[in-house]
Amino acid sequence: MLKMFSPGLWIVLLMAAGSSVLIALLPVPTHPGMEMWVFDPNHAKIARFIAEDWNHGHASNPVTIHLITGAAIQSRMMSGFYSDTPVADLIEVERGMIGQVFAGPVADVGFMELTGRLDRENLRTGINGPSFSPWTTRGHIFGLPHDVHPAMLLYRADLVEAAGIDVSKIETWDDYFRMLRPLMQDLDGDGRVDRFLLNASPTSIYYQEVLLLQAGGRMFDEMNQPTLNEPVNARSIARLATWYAGPGHVASEITLGGASSMRLVREGYVVGLLAPDWFAGSIRTSLPDMAGKFKVMPLPAWEKGGRRTSVLGGTMLGITKAGRTPEDAWAFAKQLYLSPATAQRLYEEARIVTPIKANWSQSFYDVPDPYFCGQAIGRMYIRLAPDVPLRPSSPYYGLAQQLLNQSVSQLCTYADDHRLYDAAALVPEAQRLLNEAQRQLQAQMDRNAFLRPAAR
């Protein structure tokens, strides 16, 4: 037998067998009780704080919080939903991830439906209504909303006030650009403007949607049917093009993230930035030396009496169908998301306001924030919370965003090519571009056999 193979081959075989046994004997880390996946460090910190309390009272079913990057959560979550690979009991899902979860039949959504529970326990009315919209598909709610994310305008109060501009007189975007125009200056004497009034550009995919929603536009209706070519969208992007294109453009974009972009914010390259609550918190953390230089104000309306806010971003907590103890998961989800302690930590750590209406009366939202020149920004954001626009949960939301962005870019090019910077004159071209975008979006959606009415 020994002579059947050469010594070298025996060594290879023994090494293969030995390493296989070693791998088989390696202990697999197991967590007793429930697991929760979180993508944001701030959310993880708060969840761990609440989990500590939960674990004291539920020693037999404790919860462990895992901080995992968003992309990894999406891959692992979808693998789990598709093919039963292990997933956590509870998963925090960011807005951009949810479309894929809702791309199949409702019965195949990997999260437990919460509609019945929310109604039975009378929770739905206690949560800010619009906050449910991104987590609802075909009339079924699959997540507990984490936030509201109303948008305001974060502006350089030091520059605006030094110029003697009274922002309380600003009601519309036209007022804003007209009154702040003196701030668009050539600071280094090269004949070019070095300061712009709004941080946005035709390529800023998220800001397009924020402004469109504020204007009363939308990309999908309540039934998640595409509405990209509605006339209000055409009128809105025609106005946006006049902000972005031409020699007198009032908006320019700093792609926020790196050190150089923060330098531009510090230098006042843009006076105003579209700022949901989380963004105000993020600026406060990223630029501590700018304390006392920023203030927030409701977004100027598109028309007099119009909506003064919009929405950007969002997170939900879902309970997976694969979880072994769904009742405990639901109990923990409520403890985590509904508690005043969470609301307080969320606001204090990240300036995020809770969607739980009962917590809106908490006094910590009224504490003046020295960073924002003593404004109680929590209260300001809460006042706008009920007005945030509804958002779609369509799996084609990302594509719609892309097509909208493409239309705005093409419209800006058209405006420059024809030296046409009047919104009314740009509407027909805007409508044509959006009609084409709508046709492309509809064609992609029509291909999905699982979203056709008969398959729902």
Partner 1 sequence: MKPSRLHSAWTPWIFLAPFLLSFTAFIAWPAVRSLMLAFEQTFGPRTTAFVGLTNFRFMLHDPFFWTAVGNTVLFTVAAVVTQIPAALGLALLLNRADLRGRRLFRVIFFAPSIVGLAFVAIIYSIMLEKRTGFINSSLHSLLPAWDPDFPWLDHYVMPSLILAVLWLSAGFYMVYFLAALQNVPGELLDAANIDGASPWQRFRHVTLPEIRPVLNIILLLVVTGSFQLFELPYLLYNETNGNGPDNKALTIVTYLYQTGFRSGDLGYASAIGWLLTLVLVGLALVQRRLTQKEEL
Rounded to the nearest whole angstrom, what is the least distance from the CB of residue 331 to partner 1 in the complex?
Answer: 29
Spatial separation of the C-alpha atoms in residues 329 and 316, rounded to whole Å: 14
Q: Which is nearer to partner 1, 180 or 411 (CB)?
A: 411
| Span near partner 1 by CB under 8 A; candidates 99-107, 132-140, 161-169, 222-230 | 99-107
Spatial separation of the C-alpha atoms in residues 346 and 339, rounded to whole Å: 11
316 forms bridges with which residues in the sheet? 93, 145
Rounded to the nearest whole angstrom, what is the least distance from the CB of residue 3 to partner 1 in the complex?
Answer: 5
Could you say whether residue 440 binds partner 1 (CB under 8 A)?
yes
| Span near partner 1 by CB under 8 A; candidates 34-42, 97-105, 172-180, 281-289 | 97-105
Could you say whether residue 10 binds partner 1 (CB under 8 A)?
no
- Find where tokens 């809106």 sit: 360
Tell me which of 9, 11, 17, 358 binds partner 1, using CB under 8 A: 9
| Span near partner 1 by CB under 8 A; candidates 158-166, 179-187, 261-269, 420-428 | 261-269
Q: Which is nearer to partner 1, 14 or 358 (CB)?
A: 14
Q: Which is nearer to partner 1, 358 or 449 (CB)?
A: 449
Could you say whether residue 4 binds partner 1 (CB under 8 A)?
yes
Could you say whether residue 20 binds partner 1 (CB under 8 A)?
no
| Span near partner 1 by CB under 8 A; candidates 199-207, 304-312, 345-353, 367-375 | 199-207
- Find where tokens 């993020």 sit: 282
| Span near partner 1 by CB under 8 A; candidates 126-134, 289-297, 350-358, 446-454 | 446-454
Size of the site for partner 1 (CB under 8 A): 51
Scanning residues 392 to 421, which ones bind partner 1 (CB under 8 A)?
395-396, 398-399, 402, 405-406, 409-410, 413
From the list 295, 196, 207, 282, the residue with the least C-alpha distance to 246 is: 196
Could you say whether residue 82 binds partner 1 (CB under 8 A)?
yes
Could you say whether residue 128 binds partner 1 (CB under 8 A)?
no
Residues that bind partner 1 (CB under 8 A): 3-6, 9, 12-13, 16, 75, 78, 81-83, 99-100, 103-105, 108, 190-192, 202-205, 252, 255, 258, 260-261, 263-264, 269, 395-396, 398-399, 402, 405-406, 409-410, 413, 440, 443-444, 447-450
